[in-house]
Each structure stands twice: as structure tokens, then as C-alpha cells.
Structure 1
């Protein structure tokens, strides 16, 4: 006699084997790491040669995040080959009201960014796109706390946008190898 556990174990074993075979097939389908592996080094090297420009406080935050992400903390490139221009727009929306004072108590900061990657030598546009992020924050009766909460929300949104832009630029470089 067999117990119900034996049947369940066989099912789990069969599923595990099937999953392993499916993952093994991924290597022959062209799926590869974005930043590592054989071709990933070219992507990392290309990212290190991107100069980033972005006006405004939120734009500067995005720029700082991207410079750090592209260079691994080494700073701006000495002789950049590409330029990434990022323009930002921020909108602040009240999403909650205090029922006693009828003053906004919760806000949603919405930040969007449009970006263009160009080759410095030729001025040719290589890629462009847009990214956005939302960050909520609470409003209080203290003025400094309100300013700080809004700035922290903008910084969180800027970090999310920088991560999204970095990924899109890295994918572009992975798909378009550079000499």
C-alpha cells in the first residue's frame, strides 16, 4: 500500500524536474544576464561612458543616482561618449483631507521624466523614453516637517525613476553593442 504522501512527493519531483528542464532550455534561447556574463561587461563599460545632465532639484537627484549607478561610484566619465539629457516634471496632489480642519493631510507626489540618449561625437539620438514614479507622504501642522516630507517623497520618486532609466539604457546598450 502506498500513502497519499508518496503520490504528492512524486508530483513535486516531476514538477521540479520539468522546471529544471525548462530553465536549462533558457540558455539556448538567448536569455542572458544584463550586466554580467560574456556580453555583460560591454554593457557595464558603455554605461561608464555616459554623461548625465538634468536641471532642477529633482533632476539633480536623478542625475546623482544615475552617475553613481552608471559608474559604480567612480563619478562622472572623463571622456564621455554618450550624453543622457533628463527633463522632469513634478505634480503634488492632495489625496486625503483632515475631517475636522478640512486641510490636506495626505499628498501624492507624481514625478515624470523624459530622457534622450545621444552620441556626443555625432549628436545622433540613440534612444529616448519616459519614466514616472509616485510617492505618498503625510502633511502635518509643522511647516518644516511638511517641507521635509515632500522632499523625501520626491527623492524616493527620483530614485525609482533613476533605476528605471538605468535599466532601459542598459538594455539598449546590451541590444546595440558598441565598438
Structure 2
């Protein structure tokens, strides 16, 4: 009999919790980031990217152009400019003390970028992103050189995906 008065109180608490949750969720806005039909896709298609100064920078730039335009290339007249600076570094890991050689390496590709609207020269977003790829070294020097190049390409591709997501987020606002 002592549990009888607690049931209405528990029910009221559950109803209040459900109403609070519903009001919080109603304030959320859910929009697809990769919407191919929306305004964000049109804005992404009107971006031009700065020229690259390195091989890895060119890889990132080419991938970004493909990702933002859907394979159509850069527009003749762009509404937005992205100033992109890409750098790459290799850090040797797992050093063998007896021969002073490494058994593995970490390739880091970093980019700093800023998105500028051409109509009023306003910087919409600037940021820095990095991507890492790991490499196993062999005893052959050419294989090691090729492995580093492949790791740079993998990291550049991943970095372009990250920068594209940042750009899409900035342009969707």
C-alpha cells in the first residue's frame, strides 16, 4: 500500500522528462552535410583553390577540386577562394641502435587554409588540419622511397576529406 502514492509521482516525473527531451530535440536542426541537391552543393561547386607548390600539395588540391565539384573541375568564375598551404614531414620510428636505421616511419601531411567570399572579401573560416599515414621500411632503398610517397598520397587523400568537411560546414551556415 505504501507504493500506491509513488506511482503518480513517478508517472509525472517521466512525463516531465519526456516533455523536456522533446523540447530539447525540437531545437535541433538536422541537415545532411553531403546533400547533392541543396545550396551547400552549389556553393561547393563554386570554389577555386590556390595553386600548390609541392607534389603533396598538388595531391591535396586535386582531391579537393574533385570532392567539391563532383568531378567537374574548378569553375570559370568562383564565388569563394580557398587559400591552401600544405606541408609534409616524415618521422622515423622504431630505430635499430646497432645499424642506426628505422623499421617504420610516420608521414604527417598538414594544411592551413582560409575560405574567402569573393563578393565582400570576408574570410568565412580558417583552420589547420593534419592527417597521418604509417610506413614499414624494408632493406631496399627504392621500396622505402616508394612507401613514403604512397603514404604521402594516402595522408593527402585523407586530409582533403577533412578540409572538404570543414569547408562544407562553413558554407552551409
More off after superposition, 88-97 vs 66-75: 88-97
Per-residue CA distance 1:83-134 (angstroms, 9 max, x = gap): 1111122221111124653311100011211001112344332211110011
Determine helix, strand or coil for the equivalent of 1:29.
coil
Change in Cα spacing, 1:26 to 1:44, as seen in structure 2 (3 Å) is farther
Structure 1 CA distance for aligned equivalents of residues 35 and 85 of structure 2 = 30
Structure 1 CA distance for aligned equivalents of residues 170 and 79 of structure 2 = 15
Change in Cα spacing, 1:28 to 1:36, as seen in structure 2 (3 Å) is farther
| Match status 1:139 vs 2:120 | no
* Max Rg structure: 2
Structure 2 CA distance for aligned equivalents of residues 124 and 30 of structure 1 = 26
Which residue matches 1:41?
38
Structure 2 CA distance for aligned equivalents of residues 107 and 66 of structure 1 = 26
Determine helix, strand or coil for the equivalent of 2:65.
helix
Count of residue pairs brought into register by the alignment: 151
Higher percent of residues as helix: 1
Structure 1 CA distance for aligned equivalents of residues 26 and 64 of structure 2 = 30
Q: What value does the CA root-mean-square deviation take over the aligned residues?
A: 2.2
Determine helix, strand or coil for the equivalent of 1:76.
coil
| Match status 1:30 vs 2:29 | yes
Determine helix, strand or coil for the equivalent of 1:63.
helix
Determine helix, strand or coil for the equivalent of 2:56.
helix
Q: Please, which of 28, 43, 49 is the counterpart of residue 52 of structure 1?
A: 49
TM-score, normalised to structure 1, is 0.76
Which residue matches 1:172?
170
Which residue matches 1:17?
none
Deviation at 1:163, TM superposition (A): 0.5
Structure 2 CA distance for aligned equivalents of residues 36 and 136 of structure 1 = 33
Determine helix, strand or coil for the equivalent of 2:48.
strand
Which residue matches 2:105?
107
Per-residue CA distance 1:19-67 (angstroms, 9 max, x = gap): xxx89x8576212211228xx6100000000011232111101001100
TM-score, normalised to structure 2, is 0.78
